Structure 1
Amino acid sequence: MRHSPHVLPAVALIGVAGLALSGCSGSSGGDSGSTTLTVWYNTQDSDALLDVYSAYEKSSGNKVDLVPISSDGYEDSLLTKWAAGDRPDLMEFSPTSSYISMLNPTENLQDLSDEDFVDASGELYDGSGRGLDGKVYSAITNFPEVWGVYYNKDVLAANGLEPATTVDEIQAQCATLSGAGITTLAEAGGSGWPTASLPLLYGTSMSDDDWAGTIIDRSASLGDSDSPLLAGLDEYETLLTDGCMSPDISTATFEDNVADVLSGEAAYQLIHSNIAPVYVDAANGDSAKVDATIGFSTVGAASKEALIQPGILGSYFAPKTGDSTREAAALDFIRFATGENYPSYIEQSGTFPLIEGTDDPETSELMKQIKAAYDEGPVRALLQTDLPGAMNGITPLMSELIAGQTSPQDVADQLQTELGTAAKAQGLEGW
């Protein structure tokens, strides 16, 4: 699923796109005995992320040559360079199985499965950072997107309702809220991408751990009658037809949704945690007002789950280059970034730590609530992250569903067709 590339974690310190590090030249010389690492990085990296490279240079004596790749279309640009045979020593990339599989990781990436950070990151690597072979190929250092609902505390309390922890509970509360003239679930057809949130979240919660594997080996299809994705699309249509969503759903943006929940015109917004800064902006920078008014809860279909999507920024891969010295140095950088330098990065960035042994930073009550929801778990990655194509075509299909121009079954069947095209392009066996 695509979402706005310009909305970053609330506690991140945003850097200027394309910054060059002092001392990180493109030369391969440097001090005697040092190694120069070529790094492909996303131009939306924060100052704190860029400073990890500077800190590594000082600590190791090695040099870092930063090669910027625009955040707009980052994955496609990187894959084009990759397909041409170009290889860096390190790179940021999406730590999802669907994207990792495009790199032929067994042949092209260093296996990080036995590194200390994997076990020290709790449940994170149960569904993230791994290839389809089950091996870990990415070191994830940035707190992931956590999907759930922002809710208006006063609206729920005034109507005798507790914050929902499942989509089923949201549906059950719809009659009460509608009777009070309040929109239950603010939804943003005008922004497009948020409309895929509920079907994918609901479907993930309904799916077995090996469901993506059954799609890939063709023993199941997205459009099967027992497909968890189809269940999520059916649930979306039910909430829509029951009048539980925004009356202006076709044109409303996710920023409109934020304003509606903050003002109490709507009770819930189902979306990822990284839009927390938008609530502060909508409150004219009054974070205390946001903390007093807005809460956050992770939700599953019928039971509470922390459904996540790790991002590109701060997710490191070490390609195999055939140069054993540089490969060892790349691994050394990953150990530095996930080990001795990690507390410094967390302190500078203000983001939450994923690796045990590092304290949480001081931040807003809303962000603390998001982190607590993640810690409570159980943690699972959204289902599309393990599928070829990652369901990138779902947004226009959701627009058609909202307009009544298609059905949940048709959406699932079309996504299966698109998945097949992506699987063939990746050369997956049997496709």
Structure 2
Amino acid sequence: MKKRFSAVAALAAVAALSLAGCSDPGAGSGTGRDASPAEWPAQDTDLTGTTLTIWAAQNSNTVPDSVVAGFEELTGAEVEVVTIPDPYEQSVQTKVATGDKPDLAFWQPTASQLTALNAGANLQPLDDAPWLDAYQPELRDITGILDGTRYAALITTPAVEGVYYNKQVFADAGITDIPADWDEFLQVARDLKDDGVTPFFDFGGGTPWATQWWVQVQLADAAADGLWDRVNANEETFTDPTIQGAIDTYKALIDEGLFNEDLATATFEDQGPALLSGEAAMAVQVNSFFGQLQSLADTAELDEKIGFFPIAPSGNVGTFIPDQSNALVAFSTGDAAREAAARQLLSYWLGDGYPDFVEAQSTVSLQSEVPSSADVPQALLDVSASLSDSVGSMQALAVANPDLYLNLGDMIQGTKTPVEVAEATQAQFAELAGAIGAPGF
């Protein structure tokens, strides 16, 4: 998420992948866009002599460890996890465009990112996978599907955009109930400011990737009402009142003094300590932020100090945004035996290997019959619980993912106005949508 590359680089990668897909649809493997249903080998099928490769980012390269160890022991296969340099998405797309493919890769399971990878030509369909019915019902089809075909296997709960808050700061201010909607949320912030507390912590220095969450949580109701469908069809734009209004509101809250004074220079590394210490009361963030908090405090302290609630204009509604650490894709490599082995590894990961994986990662379980790790802090359990009625983010629902966060960062630095943020983002979106052949562009 925070390493997302620019729209210019994305355009080049999309174009290259599109050309690669035209010249070699499915690599003759029988698995691409026109594939018949795949067979799913038993989890313990002997794979002695088979080597599989998993591509991972720097922040996900240890995630497979328990699964790899168990799968190798069970099947005799060898599994190599290869770290792809950041920016991960750009690096993967560049390699795939030249014909270099792994067997499996971590990948953001959203429509825009599956499209960017030319899923129909490059990925194995995962329809009828044996683990699908094990998912909690609300998570089964939440993401990973493009044009009616499933291309990604969800392995951890998608991130949710919402509000992490310091419980002690709230208690000291006499706040006993979480805000029930956007207006109450802002009233709490203003009351805290009047008491001398910094209400919100955000960062504009470095790569200001979290700035976009402030806009997107304001769009939750509109997203539920089809906003991103209209944007995808070029029937509504970032410069129209809905999205422009959310950008304007974010700027107005900054101008009101509701954020940390060092907003323009603060970095992600500053945010966790500020919230944990009570220097600031709240941060609008996603799950990866909690990883920073877990590096600073144990579960007991986090349960004591940190809470979470989703927020939207009309109520406590979350905005979900899957990232590359949440899911895997299996590539169409042209080697039918390795493709089957890759599907077998997915079956094991989300089958017999899943309970150990949940414990090894100290994570929330996706499956009804597998309990979450006892080491999961309550705030992350609350994040997971909010998924049942959450709505999709721009990344989850839009056909392309423009550089909204960079443009908002420019706004914080004073080099773009809110109107210029919307104009620049719309121009990038239209260019990306045109590059993938979206109707209306």
Whole-angstrom distance in 2 between the partners of 1:241 and 1:328: 56
- 2:127 corresponds to which letter in structure 1? S
- Identify the residue that residue 383 of structure 2 maps to in structure 1: 373
Whole-angstrom distance in 1 between the partners of 2:295 and 2:60: 22
Q: Does 2:328 match 1:328? A: no
Q: Which runs of 5 or more residues in structure 1 are unaligned?
A: 6-30
| Cα contact 1:151–1:267 (8 A) shared by 2 | yes
Of 259, 266, 274, the match for 1:260: 274
Of 200, 206, 218, the match for 2:222: 206
Whole-angstrom distance in 2 between the partners of 1:174 and 1:36: 54
| Cα contact 2:47–2:75 (8 A) shared by 1 | no
- Identify the residue that residue 401 of structure 1 maps to in structure 2: 411
- 2:324 corresponds to which letter in structure 1? I
Q: CA RMSD in A?
A: 2.8
What is the Cα deviation at residue 37 of structure 1? 3.2
- Identify the residue that residue 435 of structure 2 maps to in structure 1: 425
> For residues 258-337 of structure 1, what are the structure 2 equivalents within 5 Å?
258-279=272-293, 285=297, 288-313=300-325, 315-337=327-349
- 1:203 corresponds to which letter in structure 2? L
What is the Cα deviation at residue 419 of structure 1? 1.1
Per mean C-alpha deviation after superposition, the further-off stretch among 196-205 and 92-101 is 196-205
What is the Cα deviation at residue 354 of structure 1? 1.3
> For residues 160-171 of structure 1, what are the structure 2 equivalents within 5 Å?
160-161=174-175, 162-171=177-186
| Cα contact 2:49–2:78 (8 A) shared by 1 | yes
Identity of aligned residues (%): 29
Per mean C-alpha deviation after superposition, the further-off stretch among 100-109 and 31-40 is 31-40
Per mean C-alpha deviation after superposition, the further-off stretch among 186-195 and 351-360 is 186-195
SS at match of 2:55: strand
Of 124, 132, 135, the match for 1:110: 124
Q: Does 2:193 match 1:181? A: no
Q: Does 2:254 match 1:243? A: no
How many residues get paired? 397
Distance 1:130 1:251, change over 3 A: same
- 2:420 corresponds to which letter in structure 1? D
Distance 1:397 1:359, change over 3 A: same
- 2:327 corresponds to which letter in structure 1? S
| Cα contact 1:148–1:296 (8 A) shared by 2 | yes
Whole-angstrom distance in 2 between the partners of 1:349 and 1:290: 17
SS at match of 1:223: coil
Please give the per-residue CA displacement for 1:65-103, whole angstroms capped at 9, x wherever unaligned: x26242411111111111112333322222121110022
Of 86, 91, 94, the match for 1:80: 94
Whole-angstrom distance in 1 between the partners of 2:275 and 2:325: 29
Please give the per-residue CA displacement for 1:258-300, whole angstroms capped at 9, x wherever unaligned: 3333333422111123223433555xx4654443232222222
> For residues 353-392 of structure 1, what are the structure 2 equivalents within 5 Å?
353-363=365-375, 367-376=377-386, 377-391=388-402
| Cα contact 1:127–1:380 (8 A) shared by 2 | no
Q: Does 2:75 match 1:60? A: yes
TM-score (norm 1): 0.82
Of 232, 244, 248, the match for 1:234: 248
SS at match of 2:210: helix
SS at match of 1:390: coil
Per mean C-alpha deviation after superposition, the further-off stretch among 133-142 and 373-382 is 373-382
SS at match of 2:160: strand
Distance 1:127 1:62, change over 3 A: same
Per mean C-alpha deviation after superposition, the further-off stretch among 169-178 and 401-410 is 401-410
- 1:385 corresponds to which letter in structure 2? A
Per mean C-alpha deviation after superposition, the further-off stretch among 327-336 and 108-117 is 108-117
Please give the per-residue CA displacement for 1:400-429, whole angstroms capped at 9, x wherever unaligned: 323454333321221110112222333434
Whole-angstrom distance in 2 between the partners of 1:430 and 1:210: 17
Q: Which runs of 5 or more residues in structure 2 are unaligned?
A: 6-45
- Identify the residue that residue 172 of structure 2 maps to in structure 1: 158
- 2:406 corresponds to which letter in structure 1? P
Whole-angstrom distance in 2 between the partners of 1:117 and 1:45: 22
| Cα contact 2:58–2:84 (8 A) shared by 1 | yes
Distance 1:32 1:276, change over 3 A: closer
| Cα contact 2:3–2:88 (8 A) shared by 1 | no
Q: Does 2:149 match 1:135? A: yes
- 2:313 corresponds to which letter in structure 1? A
- 1:396 corresponds to which letter in structure 2? L
What is the Cα deviation at residue 172 of structure 1? 1.8
TM-score (norm 2): 0.80
Whole-angstrom distance in 2 between the partners of 1:310 and 1:153: 27
SS at match of 2:52: strand
| Cα contact 1:125–1:136 (8 A) shared by 2 | no
| Cα contact 2:203–2:271 (8 A) shared by 1 | yes
| Cα contact 1:167–1:300 (8 A) shared by 2 | yes
Whole-angstrom distance in 2 between the partners of 1:417 and 1:265: 38
Of 117, 122, 125, the match for 2:137: 122
| Cα contact 1:205–1:300 (8 A) shared by 2 | yes
Distance 1:116 1:232, change over 3 A: farther
SS at match of 2:281: strand
Distance 1:220 1:277, change over 3 A: closer
What is the Cα deviation at residue 368 of structure 1? 2.0
Whole-angstrom distance in 1 between the partners of 2:47 and 2:374: 42
| Cα contact 1:306–1:374 (8 A) shared by 2 | no
Whole-angstrom distance in 2 between the partners of 1:105 and 1:399: 31
> For residues 2-17 of structure 1, what are the structure 2 equivalents within 5 Å?
2=2
Whole-angstrom distance in 2 between the partners of 1:102 and 1:338: 26
What is the Cα deviation at residue 43 of structure 1? 4.4
- Identify the residue that residue 234 of structure 2 maps to in structure 1: 218
| Cα contact 2:53–2:82 (8 A) shared by 1 | no
- 2:286 corresponds to which letter in structure 1? H
Whole-angstrom distance in 1 between the partners of 2:239 and 2:51: 49
Distance 1:116 1:375, change over 3 A: farther
